[in-house]
Structure 1
Amino acid sequence: MNTTYLSQSNKSKQSKWYLVDAQGYTLGRLSTEVAKILRGKNEPSFNPSYNIRGYVIIVNTEKIDVSGRKRLQKVYHRHSGKPGGLKKETFGELQKRLPNKIVENAVRKMLPKGRLGRQIFKSLKLYPGPNHPHDAQEPLTIQI
């Protein structure tokens, strides 16, 4: 009979909190590293079907950068559901209005689709400025 090894150490461990300052980082480079941490690929007990419970706090999302002319050419779409309800917004416009939405969108699309991906996405905390309310969790500052 074949047996499957299930790591019991994940259930008893405390959740790890990481702090990332987005100032000066490129959107794609930052979001790939954050998605890896959220999935738990930096842990030795990684299993693709489990939520490892790593939390990531990203501050200064309003100062994230993109390469080339993407600030003018990259377009974000949203639709109200009504006829003629398609709205288009460039990267620069959305960054002024909702800077968290840009990083949120990039990281969410790099996570698995389905129930596990939605559960993992809740572990991402975004703040446009340098302050965050998670000091009690003592997050580990990481450089990406």
Structure 2
Amino acid sequence: MNKTVVPSVGNLQRDWYVVDAAGQTLGRLASEIAKVLRGKHKPTFTPHMDVGDFIVVVNAEKVTVGGRKAHQKLYRRHSGRPGGMKVETFSHLQARLPERIIETAVRGMLPRNALGRQLFRKLKVYRGPVHPHGAQRPTTLSLSTASC
């Protein structure tokens, strides 16, 4: 009889990947990033464990959306005070904080529990092409969305 092997935390190998967001569609990019963060691309994937890899996203300011979403897609945040709702369009947020766009999209595709918060900490997003993670020697991740 075969038994399911649960990987131990000591045996996990975490790789570092760089993803260039220039010209990529936001939703397709975010779903591929979430898949790698969870570890679904590995044969040792376990739903209740963090077996995924680290992702460094560069050129976040050059991510695209389809149709009229640049002017119609809204991002909301609340200060917690009465009347504290702030609403911002995609184009305004992209000019101000382009990192937050990718972070919000990926966070929405991760589990809504402690595991999801732990996975989200392995995502590093940067506005331009420069990132401070050269010491980890990240490899370029070829996304399946590049062929679309």
Q: TM-score range by the shorter chain?
A: over 0.9
User: Please, what TM-score do these two structures have when normalized by structure 2?
Assistant: 0.91
How many residues in Structure 1 have an aligned counterpart in Structure 2? Answer: 141
Q: Secondary structure at the match of 1:81?
A: coil
The residue number in structure 1 matching 2:5 is 5
Q: Which amino acid aligns with 2:132?
A: P
Q: Verify: 1:123 aligned to 2:126, yes or no.
A: no
Q: Identity of paired residues, percent?
A: 53
1:42-53 matched pairs, under 5 angstroms: 42-53=41-52
Q: Secondary structure at the match of 1:45?
A: coil
Q: Secondary structure at the match of 2:41?
A: coil
Structure 1: distance between partners of 2:121 and 2:87: 26
C-alpha displacement at 1:53, in angstroms?
Answer: 4.0
C-alpha displacement at 1:26, in angstroms?
Answer: 0.2
Q: Which amino acid aligns with 1:78?
A: R
1:56-95 matched pairs, under 5 angstroms: 56-95=55-94
Q: Deviations over 1:94-140 (max 9, x none)?
A: 00000000000000010001100000100000000000011111111
C-alpha displacement at 1:4, in angstroms?
Answer: 5.8
Q: Which amino acid aligns with 1:48?
A: P
C-alpha displacement at 1:11, in angstroms?
Answer: 2.3
- Consecutive unaligned residues in structure 1, runs of 5 or more: none
Q: CA RMSD in A?
A: 1.3
Q: Which amino acid aligns with 2:87?
A: K
Structure 2: distance between partners of 1:4 and 1:28: 33
Q: Which amino acid aligns with 1:123?
A: K
Structure 2: distance between partners of 1:86 and 1:13: 42
The residue number in structure 2 matching 1:110 is 109
Structure 1: distance between partners of 2:11 and 2:62: 37
Structure 1 runs of 4+ aligned residues shifted over 3 Å read none
- In 1, are the aligned partners of 2:12 and 2:51 still within 8 Å (CA)? no
